[in-house]
Amino acid sequence: MSRRINLTLSHLLVTLLAILTSLVLLLLAAQTIAWRLSEARVETFSATVLERSVYLLQQAQSIAQENAHEPAAPPCSAADISHLRSLLWNYQLIKDIGRVNNDALTCSVLWGRLDSPLSLRQEGEQAKHIAGAAFLQLPVANGVEATALRRRDLIIFLSPFAFRRFESEPETAWFSALAVNKSGDERYFTVGRNTEELQQAINGKSRWDYIVRKRCSPQFDLCAVAGARATGFFNESAVIIGFVFFIALLTGTLVSLCWHFWRSKKTSLPARLQRALAQEKLRVVYQPICEIQSARLTGVEALLRWDDDDMGAISPEVFIPLAEEAGIMPQITRYVTTKALAEMQALMQRYPFTLSINVSLADLFSADYLPFLTEQTRQHSLTPGRVILEITERQGANLESMSSAITRFKQAGFVIALDDFGTGYSNISWLSQLPVDEIKIDKSISDSISTHSLNKTLLINLMLLLKSMSQKVVFEGLEETSQITYLRTHFPQSYGQGWWYSRPLDAPSLLQFIETQNKNSSP
């Protein structure tokens, strides 16, 4: 229960972490996109301001060119003012056109002929020039300052509304821009409400999130420098923000599901079994095999056990088929062989019992297992005759091939046992055609001895058949006294193994079992 709760909490934490990670990554991506969009908008704004500035200069140039081609009339005469008025009519970004004499404005279309000429001198300021004209910032009246271009005696006043729409439209109201020469030491136009911060950014004194872009004209010595603070993702609409959060939730959930699927696959029983085998976390226990008549131990069968760290004890009936499906039975057989011989070496040198090891058809037919087994017995100073190989899986096997393989092992000195006799794929022909030394009777037959599930006549005939065989006979799964009593009466020369004698034991416990037997049998 606690493990299930821990797994649930683990899955929940992984899901939350995946969602939070997805949210952070998406927010970073969204913020990056918002930054890029801000850069693109500032870039576009600088291009737009430059385009408007160039358009102003082009209109002023056009007026100067048209004025030069007209017949001269006395300056500031009615004809001259009428002529200037006709010029003004065609240019929407030009506010007024006038005449200059001795650095003073003498007349204009809007003001007419001035009684007192207006001085154009700009005290304390260095003269600016652009597109072949003097660039002037003139205080005309009541704090009103006009921007003008002067070409000889012609002065052209630019409309104060030329850039006004950029300051009023919501899309551009938060931008600022300066129209300057390419070297940046002369300023012509200012656009926006926060040009001071733009100037600080140009001087390298603004905030890190302030974006500045510059666009220059190939025609004039003119550039537009635009700037604005980058807009963040959270400045976007609630719909976009909600959509990103939804995508983060969806992505995080999908990532979590993929992780859980990968982890469950990685931690599935076949994967866990292979990992346990590689890390040598499988253990071997030994079940005693005893004489029926005397109960004296004559051998042990090595049995593999698997105690998973998370899932606890897993039955061989579960993991052995998994090993067969995964194709790792040869590795498991070698693992059991090595471990059992190493753990039993000292005991077998002290006491005369045999060691039974389960092998599969793949091991039997393998060209590598027999040399491996021979070398292992040699290394552990054991004679092959004390090692019994129990053939556990025979379904679909060819009798002739099995007989040939068994003969190879017998010639090397090993003892061969036919395991699980009495199951669905065993028959009498196995006993007569295979050169086995031992027959192990399946637990299903042993269970029938003390019950009425097996016909008494059939049981007697089976016992007669087994007693007539030359092979050693071992009954598996003996658990009841009635079974032992029956076999002692009807088949005293047989052998048995099961919980009636002992549960499977580890090596230290097996030593205690043997010493106890020897102590009880001593006079």
Confidence (pLDDT) at 523: 57
Kindly tell me if the per-residue pLDDT of 99 is higher than 70.
yes
195 SS3 class: helix
Kindly tell me if the per-residue pLDDT of 267 is higher than 60.
no
Contacts of 359 (CB under 8 A, 6+ apart): 333, 369, 389, 390, 391, 392
Token pair 């009936």 in the structure block, residue:
317
In the chain, the largest separation of any two C-alpha atoms, in whole Å, equals: 155
Region of poorest pLDDT, from 59-68, 144-153, 394-403, 509-518: 394-403
Highest mean pLDDT among 109-123, 213-227, 305-319: 213-227
- 77 touches 71 (CB < 8 A): no
Which stretches of 328-368 are DSSP H helices? 329-350, 361-365
Confidence (pLDDT) at 380: 94
Confidence band, pLDDT 50/70/90 cuts, at residue 276 = confident
Average of pLDDT values for 519-523? 69
- 269 touches 322 (CB < 8 A): yes
Helix (H) or strand (E) holding 441: strand 438-441
Averaged confidence pLDDT in the chain: 85
Confidence (pLDDT) at 34: 81
Give me the long-range contacts of 35-40 (CB less than 8 A, separation at least 24): 35/230, 37/231, 38/211, 38/228, 38/229, 38/230, 38/231, 39/211, 39/213, 39/230
Region of poorest pLDDT, from 264-273, 364-373, 410-419: 264-273
Region of poorest pLDDT, from 135-144, 261-270, 506-515: 261-270
Confidence band, pLDDT 50/70/90 cuts, at residue 452 = low
- Summarised one tens digit per residue, pLDDT across range 297-315 is 999 999 999 988 777 888 8
Task: Please report the domains of the chain, with CATH numbers, ordered by start residue.
Answer: 2-233 (no CATH), 270-510 (3.20.20.450)
Confidence (pLDDT) at 82: 92
Kindly tell me if the per-residue pLDDT of 49 is higher than 80.
yes
- For every residue of 220-241, DSSP letters joined together read SS-EEEEEEEPPPGGGS-HHHH
Kindly tell me if the per-residue pLDDT of 233 is higher than 80.
no
Confidence band, pLDDT 50/70/90 cuts, at residue 244 = confident
- Summarised one tens digit per residue, pLDDT across range 360-372 is 888 989 999 999 9
Region of poorest pLDDT, from 26-40, 83-97, 176-190: 26-40
What are the C-alpha distances in Å from 280 to residues 132, 263, 294, 339? 91, 22, 37, 10
Q: How much of the chain exceeds pLDDT 70, in percent?
A: 89
Confidence (pLDDT) at 234: 63
Q: How much of the chain exceeds pLDDT 90, in percent?
A: 40
Kindly tell me if the per-residue pLDDT of 84 is higher than 80.
yes
Average of pLDDT values for 47-62? 91
Token pair 């005293």 in the structure block, residue:
492
Confidence (pLDDT) at 22: 76
Region of poorest pLDDT, from 132-141, 354-363, 475-484, 510-519: 132-141
Kindly tell me if the per-residue pLDDT of 37 is higher than 70.
yes
Q: Which two tokens stand for residue 493?
A: 């020369």
Confidence (pLDDT) at 1: 42
